[in-house]
Chain A
Amino acid sequence: MVYQRINSNRKIKMSFLELQNITKIYPNGTKAVNETSLNIENGEFVVFVGPSGCGKSTLLRMIAGLEDITNGEISLDGNVINNIDPSERDVAMVFQNYALYPHMSVFNNMAYGLKNRGISKEEINNKVNDVAKLLEIDQLLTRKPSMLSGGQRQRVAMGRAIVRNPKIFLFDEPLSNLDAKLRNQMRLEIKRLQRQMGVTSIFVTHDQTEAMTLGDRIVVINNGVVEQVGTPKEIYSKPNTKFVAEFIGSPQMNLFNCIIENGIAHIADMRINLNNSTNIDDASLGIRPDDILISDNGQHTCVANLVEYLGSDMIIYSKIGDQEFSCKLSSKINLNAGDTFKFDISSTLVHLFDNTNGSRV
């Protein structure tokens, strides 16, 4: 009893989903997730993003209960769920390959989870029909998954999750099997549905566009460690580490290895005044390709080695010393490969990282 009271007191302060020092070590000794802590609030849409093999899926699967937790504690809605069976956790997951039940009709695919919870036939009928209408798959209810297109399967997989009205939606790279056009469409739809229903959602992806557009907050993961947690804007404008700086943003942020002496960055024979008094022996100076200001009276001069035309924009590839960089500018400017161009790098737009630990200065 006492223990319970302590728990209920804690409940008030607790977030909806809390991960505390979660570690996952596979039997073969691989450390997939290392000491990860994270709080997710009710109704939030959180995106786990990172390169493949970074542990983001493992983390998601631990929340779902499909993977044992080596160390640490996960609590959902005030209850520790470490040892609770996945079927009892009240979470729904959309898998990368949808994992629809091939021998069941669309209706039964959606109804299966409800049947297992002992809900009456009539209620199941109503719920499935409502969700099917919401997702515009009400014409397909009698079909088998093998008779559906990729986009329709995706909708059924979503419907199966929605109809159960779970505490959390988990999405494990659900859009990666769709073609580009459908992917954009489904992305918008997922966002719209999540807003509409207000269910806490975690979305795993390696695609930064998906991460930026979907997430209320983004969790950038690398090598089993959380590099940064923040809103898309924070992550983009103020990356905490060199990894985040490189990973988020397209085209990639330019990172120049440089020495900083008394607030002046030395990149080959180029000098950039940072308007401060830092001294770092081994630093990286980052600037996004679209933050490089090209103008006829710019301080620095370079030769455009390659020009990529993208329609409204173009990307110029050039070099400072032996370090390559790119800048993105409006394609209205007339610039061809081999031309020289002048540019400025503003000290307010640069990101500085210490190369010894990769963190922001």
Chain B
Amino acid sequence: MKFKPLEILTHVILILGVLLMVLPIWFSFATSTHDNVSIMTEGMKFFLGESFTYNYNEVLNEKGGWSEEVTAARMFVNSFIMALGIATLKVVISAMSAYALVYFRFKLAVPIFWLIFITLLVPLEVRIFPSYKIVSDLGLTNTYTGLILPLVASATATFFFRQFYKTIPDELLESAKLDGANSWRFFIDFLLPLSKTMLAAMFIFMFVYGYSQYLWPLIMTTDEKYWTVVMGMKIIFTENYEGVALPRTGERFAYIILSMLPPVLVVVILQRWFIKGLIQTEK
């Protein structure tokens, strides 16, 4: 096989891009396997060290926080529950509201759609105080419900589902009707399987969105039992920083590496669906 100059150039650019993405992660991982003394004296590492088990064990099981009760493992569970809840509910609610907007021709469908769309301009950060007031009035602070509920509506996802449903030919609905499908069955038997790709893609995006929430859980939770990973990143393994002990850089890198796993896992699991849907369009 002969390479043309242009091909070599494009490959070089692509390889550089890959390195740019992968190297920081590799450095973090390599550094996370060293003990704190060598990191302190020698800086970031490129090769693996010997403290892998020690560091990761410390990270997962050490009780931290002011109450000295919450572990990183607990925070992973919290984040996972929150992200899962947000992603699932966002996808379900958006798919259903888009279904209503496209297939049920009620009078105000278009204004309602634009109203939903406008909420894109009002992210959680803008309405954080009223949201907090409502949630705390409902007694939902320091609960999973409180973490999840204010974030479950998604204008973006509703918009994408709406656009997708609009491309589905009317005959499909008509044919399904004649085959005895009611509107509920049409949604379950037709729209959901047909939008598998969309569902997977939306779920991935929304999971990452939920997982990376910082401000909301920070305000919402006073009980350390409900801390999330992203909050922990700021808080955990820092308490000795000002003292005489060494900064616990190894553990912190281990924590960062671990915190990346759940979103990666979700992408890996769902990408098969996602890519399959991209290759064979089913319409």
B178, A93: Cβ atoms closer than 8 Å: yes
From the candidates B171, B182, B193, B194, name the one contacting A99 in the complex (CB within 8 A). B171
Chain B interface main SS type: helix
Contact B171 A95 (CB under 8 A): yes
> Are A102 and B175 touching (Cβ within 8 A)?
no
Closest A-chain residue to B179, C-beta based? A113
Interface range, A side: 20 to 34
Complex Cα spacing A359 to B62, Å: 97
Interface size on B, residues (CB 8 A): 20
Asked if B177 CB lies within 8 Å of chain A CBs, one says yes
Q: Chain B 159-177, CB within 8 Å of chain A: the 1/0 string? A: 0000000000101101111
**Which chain A residue lies CB-closest to B190?**
A101
Whether A87 pairs with B282 at a CB distance below 8 angstroms is no
Nearest A residue to B192, CB-CB: A103
Instruction: Indicate whether B180 reaches chain A with its CB closer than 8 angstroms.
Output: yes
B171, A97: Cβ atoms under 8 Å? yes
Q: How far is the CB of A337 from chain B (nearest CB, A)?
A: 48
Report B-chain residues with C-beta under 8 Å of the C-beta of A91: 178
In the assembly, what is the distance between CA of A92 and CA of B185, in Å? 18
Q: Are A86 and B172 in contact (CB under 8 A)?
A: no
Q: A97-B169, A116-B185 are in contact. Are A103 and B282 (CB under 8 A)?
A: yes
* Chain A window 49-89, contacts with chain B (Cβ cutoff 8 Å), 1 for yes, 0 for no: 00000000000000011100000000000000000011111
With A and B bound together, what is the CA distance between A64 and B189 in angstroms?
21
A117 touches B (CB below 8 Å): yes
Contact B172 A99 (CB under 8 A): yes
CA distance A116 to B175 in the complex (A): 13
Contact of A116 among B172, B174, B180 (CB under 8 A): B180
Residue numbers in B under 8 Å from A160 (CB-CB): 179
B181 within 8 A of A: yes
**Contact present for B172 and A101 (CB under 8 Å):** yes
* B contact residues around A88 at 8 Å (CB): 180
Please measure, in the bound complex, the distance between the C-alpha atom of A92 and the C-alpha atom of B175, giving whole angstroms: 8
Residue of A nearest to B194 (CB): A103
The reply to whether B169 and A86 form a contact with Cβ atoms under 8 Å apart is no
Query: B193's closest neighbor in chain A, by CB?
Result: A103
- Does residue B4 face the partner (Cβ distance < 8 Å to A)? no
The residue in chain A whose Cβ has the minimal distance to the Cβ of B283 is: A102
- Quick check: A116 and B171 within 8 Å, CB to CB? no
B53 proximal to A (CB < 8 A): no
How near does chain A come to B280, taking the closest CB pair, in angstroms? 7
Q: Bound state CA distance, A291 and B64, in angstroms? A: 103
Q: Give bound CA distance, A85 to B169, whole Å.
A: 20
Which residue of A92, A97, A101, A117 contacts B178 across the interface (Cβ within 8 Å)? A92
Q: Are A99 and B175 interface neighbours, CB within 8 A?
A: yes
| A326 to B: closest C-beta gap in Å | 39
| Known contacts A99-B169, A102-B194, A87 near B283 by CB under 8 Å | no
Asked if A26 is at the interface (CB within 8 A of a chain B CB), the reply is no
Roughly how many angstroms separate A123 CA and B88 CA in the complex, as a whole number? Answer: 37
Name the CB-closest residue of B to A89: B178
Contact between chains at B180 and A113 (CB < 8 Å): yes
Q: How far is the CA of A199 from the CA of B194 in the complex (A)?
A: 33
Assess whether A87 is in contact with B172, with CB atoms less than 8 Å apart. no
Whether the pair B280, A87 counts as a contact (CB closer than 8 A) is: no
Shortest Cβ distance from residue A160 to the other chain B in the assembled complex, whole angstroms: 8
Inside 8 A of A99's CB, which chain B residues have their CB? 169, 171-172, 174-175
> Which residues of A lie under 8 Å from residue B282 when comparing CB positions?
102-103, 144, 146
* Of B175, B182, B280, the contact of A93 (CB 8 Å cutoff): B175
Residues in B with CB closer than 8 Å to A66 are: 174, 177-178
Q: At the interface, yes or no: A309 with Cβ under 8 Å from chain B?
A: no
Q: Are B180 and A146 in contact (CB under 8 A)?
A: no
Task: Tell me how far the C-beta of A157 lies from the nearest C-beta in chain B, rounded to whole angstroms.
Answer: 9
Q: Which residues of B contact A96 (CB under 8 A)?
A: 171
Alpha-carbon distance between A64 and B166 when the two chains are bound, in angstroms: 23
In the bound complex, residues from chain B placing their C-beta under 8 Å from that of A86 are 174, 177-178
Q: Which 6 A-B pairs have the closest CB atoms?
A: A116-B180, A113-B179, A99-B171, A99-B175, A87-B180, A102-B282
Of the A-B pairs whose beta carbons lie under 8 Å apart in the complex, a sample of 26, sorted by A's number, is A64-B174, A66-B174, A66-B178, A86-B177, A86-B178, A87-B177, A87-B178, A87-B179, A87-B180, A87-B182, A91-B178, A92-B178, A95-B171, A95-B174, A95-B175, A97-B169, A99-B172, A99-B174, A101-B176, A101-B190, A103-B190, A103-B193, A113-B180, A144-B282, A146-B280, A160-B179
The residues of A with any CB-CB pair to B shorter than 8 Å are: 64-66, 85-89, 91-93, 95-97, 99, 101-103, 112-113, 116-117, 144, 146, 160, 164
Give 20 A-B pairs besides A102-B194, A112-B189 with Cβ atoms closer than 8 angstroms.
A65-B178, A66-B177, A85-B177, A87-B181, A93-B174, A95-B171, A97-B169, A99-B169, A99-B172, A101-B172, A101-B190, A112-B179, A112-B181, A113-B180, A116-B179, A116-B181, A144-B282, A146-B280, A146-B282, A164-B179
